[in-house]
Structure 1
Amino acid sequence: MDQHLIVAILVVALALVFNFSNGFHDSANQVATVITSGALSPEAALTLAALSDFLGAYFLGTRVAETIGKGIVDPETMRSSQVGIFVIYSALMGAISWNVITWRLGFPSSSTHALIGGMIGAFVAGWGTSPVQWWNVLGIVLVMLVSPLVGFSVTYLFTKLTLFSSQNFGPWVNEGFKKLQVVSLVGQSLAHGANDAQKSMGVIVFGLLVLNFHDPRTGGFIPPWVALSCSLTIAAGVLLGGWKLIRRLG
C-alpha cells in the first residue's frame, strides 16, 4: 500500500476519533437541562440531540470547515510536506488528550479551543510563524473570547424577561417551559453539529490537500464522504454521551 495513502488513512481516522470525542464530551452541555427538568428521559434526550447534530453537520453548510481547512494555514504552502502532516497529528493528539483528560475529571471544556490552540501551536512549533494567517486567527480568537460574554448577556436578559412575564401564571406554565426546552435542545444540537463536526471536516481536507489526495476544483472543498463520516461520528459520540459530565451538570 502506498505510504501516502497510509498516512491519509491515519489522518482521517485520527480526525474522526477527535470528532467522536467532541460529540461524546459535549453531549452533556446539550441534554443536562432537559433531563434534570424531566422534559425528556436521558435516552430520548441523547437520541434527539444525536439526530439534530447529524442534520446540522450534514446539511447546514461548510463555512466553518473551510475556515479550519484553509483559513488558519493555507494548505497550498505545505503541499507534500511531511512537517504539515506531523503538525496535524500533533494538533489532533493534543485536542483528543484534552478531551479525554477533562472527561475523566468530569469537567466541561471546549473542544474547539483545544483544536484551534493545538493547530496554531503545532504549526508554529513545526514551521514557524510565517505560514499562519494571523488576521484570520485573530478573528477566530476574538469570537472565542466574546462568545461567553454574549452568551451570559443574552441569557441573563432572557431569564429576567421570562421570570417577569411568567410571575402571574400558575404551575401549569412549567409544562410549557419543558416543551420550549426540547425546542432549545434541537436548536442547540443543530448548531453544535453545524459548527463542531465541520472542524473535523476541515482538518481532514487540510490533510488530504497536503498529501495531494484532493482537488477542491473538481469535487468541492468538502468531499461528500468526509461530510457524511464526520456527521455520523459526532452523532455517535453524542448518542453514547458523557454520563459523568451529565451528572455533574445536571
Structure 2
Amino acid sequence: MVKQTLDKDLDRIEKIGTEAMHSSARYKALALAVLFLLIVWAFSASVTTAGEHSTLIIIAAIIGGYMALNIGANDVANNVGPAVGSRALTMFGALVIAAVFEAAGAILAGGDVVNTIQKGIINPASMQNSEVFIWAMLSALFAAALWVNIATWVGAPVSTTHAVVGGVMGAGIAAAGFSIVDWGTMSAIAASWIISPVMGGVIAALFLAFIKYNVIYKEDKVSASRRWVPLLVAIMAGVFSAYLVTKGLKRIWRPDLVTVIAISLAFFAGTYAIVKPIIHRTSKGMENRNKSVRALFTIPLICSAALLSFAHGANDVANAVGPLAAIVETSTSGAIDAKVGIPLWVMLIGAAGLSAGLFLFGPKLIRTVGEQITKMNPMRAYCVALSAGITVLIASALGLPVSSTHIAVGAVFGVGFFREWDTERRARKLRASMRDEKIHPDSNLPATDLDQTENRPKKLVRRSQLMTIVAAWVITVPSAALLSAGIFLTVSYFAE
C-alpha cells in the first residue's frame, strides 16, 4: 500500500515537472517573439525616413513581422511535417532545413511585384483617399495575423493566403461597402476550399496505391524496388524542377511552357540515370521487408522538404509583407498604386519572421500534420510531398486559386483514408478466404491475420483532427474579414 502511494506521488510530481517545463518553454518562446518584434521596430525605424507617415510605416512593419512569425509557425509545417512524422527528419533537422530554405526563397526569389489588393479581391480606386487605403491594408494585415495566431494556438493548419484575402475583403467592405469586392474572385477562392484538399488527397492516394500494388505487395519487394523506385524518384525530380521554376523562381526567371516542360524532362531523365545504379547498389543484401523499401525514399523526401520550403518562402512571404509593401509605397508616394515592388528591408523582415516563427512555435503544427492525423512513414510522406508539387502545377495551369496548406493536409488525409480502405479491403478478402476454406478460428492462422478478420473497420485517420481542421478552413475567410472590419471601424472611430 505504501509503495503504491509513493508511486502515485512520484508520478504526480513528474507530471507537474513536465508541465512546468512546457510552460517555461512557452513563456521563453513568447519572450523571444516579443524581442523579435522589438528588433523589427528598431530596424524599421532606422531605414524609414522621417515624415508624416513614418510612425505608421513602423507600426505596419511590426504587424508585418508579427504576421511573418505566424506564417512560420503555421504554414511551414505542411512542408516538413510529413518528413518529421515519418522519422526521415528529426524535429531539429526539419526546423533547420525549413528555416534556411524558407529564408533563401523569400530573399532570393520572393521579391516579385505584389498585387497590393491580393489577387484582385477589392478595387482600391473605390477608396476615398490614400489614408483610408493605408488603414484598410493595416487592418487586413493585423486581422490575418491574429486569425493565424488563433489557428496555431488551436492546432489547426490554415491557409495564410485565405486569411489575408479575408482581411483585405473585410477592411474593404468596412471602408467602401460590399460593391468594392470582386465576388467572382471570392467565389473561386471558396471553391478552392474543396478543390485543393480533394485534388491533393486523390493524387497522394493514387501514388500510394501504385507503390503498394507494384512494390509492397509483391513477393520479391527488393526486385520490385529496383524497377520502380528510380522511376518514382525521377518523377519527383521532374515535378519539383517544374514547381521550382514556375513558382519559386518566377521573379528571377519566367520561362514559357515549352521551356518548363523541357527542364522537367531533363531533370527526370538525369535523375533516373543517376538514381537507378544507386538504388541497385543500395538494395543489395537488403531484407525482403517493407522497412527496406521505405528506407529508399528517405533522401528524396528530405530533398522535397527543402524544395517545398524554398518555393513556399518565395511565394507566401508576400502574405506577410505584401500589405506592408503597399502601405510603404502609398505612404511615400501618396498614390494608390495597384502594383508595387517590395523593398529589400521589407523582404528581410518577412524572411526573418518566417524562420523565427518556425523555430519558436512551429513544432506544434509540425506534429499535428506529421503525427496526429495519420501514421506516416517515408513512403507515405513521399506521396504527400509529390502530391503537393503536382497539384500546385495542375492548379496553376488551370488558373485555379488553390492553397498549398489545403493541398498538403488534404494529401495527408488522402493517404490515411486510402490506408483505411485498403486495410478493410484486404480484411474482407481474408474473411472470404477463411469462409471458402472453412478455416476454424482455432486453426493455425497467424494471430495478426485473425485480428484483421474482425468485422469492425480499423480507423487509421483521427476524425477529431479532420473536424477541427475543416472547421478552421471554412471559417478562415469570414473570421479574418470580421476581425479586419472590426479593427478598421475601431481605428476609424478613434481617428476622427
Paired residue for 1:158, among 196, 199, 207? 207
- CA distance 1:64–1:165, change in 2 (3 Å): farther
Shift of 1:215: 8.6
Shift of 1:146: 2.6
In structure 2, what is the Cα distance between the partners aligned to 1:215 and 1:174?
57
- In structure 2, the partner of 1:223 is 343
Give the structure with higher Rg (CA): 2
Shift of 1:137: 4.7
- In structure 2, the partner of 1:20 is 69
For 1:62-101, what aligned pairs fall within 5 Å after superposition? 62-63=111-112, 65-66=114-115, 68=117, 71-73=120-122, 75=124, 78=127, 81-101=130-150
- In structure 1, the partner of 2:299 is 179
Shift of 1:202: 1.6
Comparing 64-73 and 89-98, the one that deviates more: 64-73
In structure 2, what is the Cα distance between the partners aligned to 1:36 and 1:237?
20
User: 8 Å contact 1:75–1:210 — kept in the other structure?
Assistant: no
Percent identity between matched residues is 32
Shift of 1:67: 6.1
Supply the RMSD in Å over aligned alpha carbons. Answer: 2.9
- CA distance 1:95–1:17, change in 2 (3 Å): same
In structure 2, what is the Cα distance between the partners aligned to 1:125 and 1:144?
25
- In structure 1, the partner of 2:24 is none
Shift of 1:69: 5.5
- CA distance 1:92–1:143, change in 2 (3 Å): same
In structure 1, what is the Cα distance between the partners aligned to 2:129 and 2:183?
23
Larger RCO, structure (CA 8 Å, separation 6 or more): 1
Aligned length: 249
Comparing 231-240 and 73-82, the one that deviates more: 73-82
For 1:31-42, what aligned pairs fall within 5 Å after superposition? 31-42=80-91
What per-residue deviation string (whole Å, max 9, x for no partner) do you get for residues 5-51 of structure 1? 11111112212211111111223322222222221211111110111
Shift of 1:84: 1.8
Task: Give secondary structure in 2 for the equivalent of 1:212.
Answer: helix
- Which letter maps to 1:211? S
Q: Does 1:200 align with 2:320?
A: yes
- CA distance 1:185–1:70, change in 2 (3 Å): closer
- In structure 1, the partner of 2:8 is none
In structure 1, what is the Cα distance between the partners aligned to 2:139 and 2:116?
19
- In structure 1, the partner of 2:475 is none
TM-score relative to the length of structure 2: 0.45
Paired residue for 2:357, among 224, 237, 246? 237
- In structure 2, the partner of 1:54 is 103
Shift of 1:147: 2.1
User: 8 Å contact 1:57–1:190 — kept in the other structure?
Assistant: yes
Shift of 1:94: 1.9
5+ long unaligned stretches in structure 2? 1-49, 222-287, 372-496
Task: Give secondary structure in 2 for the equivalent of 1:40.
Answer: coil
Shift of 1:87: 1.6
5+ long unaligned stretches in structure 1? none
Q: Does 1:45 align with 2:66?
A: no
